[in-house]
Amino acid sequence: MQPERGTRELTILNAVAQALNRSVDLDAALHAALAKAAELLDLHAGWIWLLNEENGEHYLAAAQNLPPALAEKPERMEGWCYCVEQYFEGTLAEAANIDFITCSRLKNYMAGTDGLRFHASVPLHAHGKQIGILNVAAADWCELAPEDLSLLYTMGDMLGIAIERARLYERSAELGAERERNRLARE
């Protein structure tokens, strides 16, 4: 690893860690991760799919700067797509570039895409369990370098831990409230 690149990567990971550690709120963590990934890697848009813990269905949990073709028609962000399919099949094991031709959300739209031509998909895991996908996109017709994909994968690991922490905190708060209700009911 070249010293300059190593310093850049450490600076980016430190900024992401600081952003993720500012709150135990899930929405705040997701939006912080998207904002930092976009800012530090010069990306335009991003969105995060999470898996519902109860039924395993995926849902759009956060988005940033979606192009009008997607933002103005939220139904286009529903259902299955290529990257979600790859994730559930287990073939999206690392951060990967997804060409816009195979991105089922962008391939049929030339207008309203703000020039987005590809996105990178990053699997999110916590303790070996699938929890979601981080997608990031840029307007330039290019693919992210392997170093940036590796960096995104590490960011995805950090985000997975932050998601798990936020979910555990939420469960803990719910249990605390339930215990308090039970205590008050006994009195």
Q: Give 47's contacts (C-beta < 8 A, 6+ positions apart).
A: 34, 60, 62, 63, 64, 66, 77, 135
Confidence of residue 92 (pLDDT cuts 50, 70, 90): confident
- Tokens representing residue 103 in the block: 């991105």
Q: What is the pLDDT of residues 173-182, one digit of tens each?
A: 888 888 888 8
Q: What is the pLDDT of residue 141?
A: 57
Query: Is the confidence at residue 162, as pLDDT, over 60?
Result: yes
Give the pLDDT mean for 112-116: 70
**Residues 28-56: b if buried by 16+ CB within 10 A, e if exposed:** bbbbbbbbbbbebbebbbbbbbbbeeeee
Amino acid at 108: N
Give the pLDDT mean for 17-44: 86
Query: Is the confidence at residue 132, as pLDDT, over 80?
Result: yes
3-state SS, residue 96: strand
Confidence of residue 140 (pLDDT cuts 50, 70, 90): low
Give 50-54's long-range contacts (Cβ < 8 A, gap of 24+). 50/124, 50/131, 50/132, 50/163, 51/130, 51/131, 51/132, 53/167
Most distant CA atoms of the chain, gap in Å: 66
DSSP H/E element including 34: helix 26-41
Angle at 104 between CA 100 and CA 110, to 5 degrees: 55
Give the pLDDT mean for 141-153: 78
Domains located in the chain, CATH noted: 3-186 (3.30.450.40)
Give me the residues paired with residue 46 across strands: 64, 136
- Global confidence as pTM: 0.81
Q: What is the pLDDT of residue 117?
A: 67
Query: Is the confidence at residue 111, as pLDDT, over 50?
Result: yes
Query: Is the confidence at residue 144, as pLDDT, over 80?
Result: no
Q: Which residue has the higher pLDDT, 154 or 69?
A: 154
Q: What is the pLDDT of residue 94?
A: 67
Backbone angles phi, psi at 31, to 5 degrees: -70, -35
Q: What is the pLDDT of residue 101?
A: 44
Mean pLDDT of the chain, nearest integer: 82
